[in-house]
Structure 1
Amino acid sequence: MASHRKPSQHRSGGRARTLLTAVLAGAAASAGLEGVGHAAPKPTPEQVREEVDQLYREAEAATEKYNGAKERTRAAERRVDQLQDEAARRAEELNEAREALGSAAAAQYRSGNGLDPTMQLALSSDPDRFLRDAGFAQRAGDLQATEIASVSQQIRELDEVRDDARTELERLRDQQERAERHKRTVTGKLEKARRLLSRLTAEERARLAEASGGGAEASPGRGGGSSGTQATGAQATGGRIAAPDSRAAAAIAYAQRKLGSPYVWGATGPNAFDCSGLIQAAYRSAGVSLPRTTYAQIDAGRRVSRSQLRPGDLVFFYPGITHVGMYIGQGRMIHAPNPSAPVRIAPIDEMPFAGATRVV
Structure 2
Amino acid sequence: MASHRRPKPPSRTRVTVLTATAAAAVALSAQSAHADPRPSKAEAKAEVDKLYEEAEQATEKFNGAKEQHDKLQKQVDELQDRVARGQEELNKLRDGLGSLATAQYRSGSIDPTLQLLLSSDPDTYLEKASTLNQLSAKQADTLRLIAAKQRALAQQRKEATTKLADLESTRKALGERQREIQGKLAEAQKVLNAFSEKERAEITGSDKGADGAKGTGGKSGGDSAGTGGSSSHPNVPAGSGRGGAALGAAQSQLGKPYHYGATGMASWDCSGLTQWAYGQAGVSLPRISQDQANAGTRIYSQSQLQPGDLVIFYGDQHHVGLYAGNGQVLHAPRTGTVVRYEAMGNMPFQFGVRVG
With the length of structure 2 as denominator, give the TM-score of the two structures.
Answer: 0.83
Deviation at 1:237, TM superposition (A): 3.2
Q: 2:106 aligns with which of 101, 104, 110?
A: 110
Q: Is 1:169 matched with 2:164?
A: yes
> What secondary structure, in the 3-state scheme, does the structure 2 residue paired with 1:316 have?
strand
Q: 2:265 aligns with which of 265, 270, 279?
A: 270
- Which sits farther off after the overlay, 335-344 or 86-95? 335-344
Q: Is 1:297 matched with 2:292?
A: yes
Q: C-alpha distance in 1, partners of 2:188/2:157?
A: 47
1:79 matched residue in structure 2: 75
> What secondary structure, in the 3-state scheme, does the structure 1 residue paired with 2:342 have?
strand
Q: Is 1:201 matched with 2:191?
A: no
Higher helix share: 1
Give matches, 1:62-141, under 5 Å: 62-117=58-113, 119-121=114-116, 123-124=117-118, 126-127=119-120, 129-136=121-128, 138-139=132-133, 140-141=135-136
| C-alpha contact (below 8 Å) 1:105/1:115 kept by paired residues | yes
| C-alpha contact (below 8 Å) 1:264/1:339 kept by paired residues | yes
Cα 1:301–1:138 change in 2 (3 A) is: farther
Identity value in percent:
40
Cα 1:255–1:223 change in 2 (3 A) is: farther
Give matches, 1:191-270, under 5 Å: 191-209=186-204, 212=205, 214=206, 216-217=207-208, 219-222=209-212, 225-227=215-217, 229=219, 236-238=233-235, 241-245=237-241, 247-270=242-265
Deviation at 1:226, TM superposition (A): 1.8
With the length of structure 1 as denominator, give the TM-score of the two structures.
Answer: 0.82
> What secondary structure, in the 3-state scheme, does the structure 2 residue paired with 1:291 have?
coil
Q: C-alpha distance in 2, partners of 1:335/1:34?
A: 48
Q: C-alpha distance in 2, partners of 1:104/1:272?
A: 63
Cα 1:85–1:230 change in 2 (3 A) is: farther
1:61 matched residue in structure 2: 57
1:330 matched residue in structure 2: 326
> What secondary structure, in the 3-state scheme, does the structure 2 residue paired with 1:35 have?
helix
Q: C-alpha distance in 1, partners of 2:90/2:42?
A: 71
| C-alpha contact (below 8 Å) 1:268/1:274 kept by paired residues | yes
Q: C-alpha distance in 2, partners of 1:195/1:134?
A: 72
Cα 1:220–1:346 change in 2 (3 A) is: closer
Deviation at 1:332, TM superposition (A): 1.4
Q: C-alpha distance in 2, partners of 1:203/1:64?
A: 30
Give RMSD over aligned pairs: 2.5
> What secondary structure, in the 3-state scheme, does the structure 1 residue paired with 2:254 have?
coil
Q: How many pairs align?
A: 322
Q: Is 1:153 matched with 2:145?
A: no
| C-alpha contact (below 8 Å) 1:268/1:281 kept by paired residues | yes
- Which sits farther off after the overlay, 337-346 or 105-114? 105-114
Cα 1:244–1:131 change in 2 (3 A) is: same
Cα 1:338–1:332 change in 2 (3 A) is: same
Q: C-alpha distance in 1, partners of 2:201/2:232?
A: 21
Q: 1:316 aligns with which of 312, 315, 318?
A: 312
1:354 matched residue in structure 2: 350
Cα 1:115–1:51 change in 2 (3 A) is: same
Q: C-alpha distance in 1, partners of 2:212/2:296?
A: 34
Q: 1:184 aligns with which of 179, 182, 185?
A: 179
| C-alpha contact (below 8 Å) 2:299/2:354 kept by paired residues | yes
> What secondary structure, in the 3-state scheme, does the structure 2 residue paired with 1:311 have?
coil
2:138 matched residue in structure 1: 143
> What secondary structure, in the 3-state scheme, does the structure 2 residue paired with 1:80 have?
helix
Give the aligned residue type for 2:122: F
- Which sits farther off after the overlay, 288-297 or 103-112? 103-112
| C-alpha contact (below 8 Å) 1:261/1:273 kept by paired residues | yes
Deviation at 1:97, TM superposition (A): 0.7
Gaps of 5+ in 2: 1-22, 223-229
- Which sits farther off after the overlay, 192-201 or 340-349? 340-349
1:13 matched residue in structure 2: none
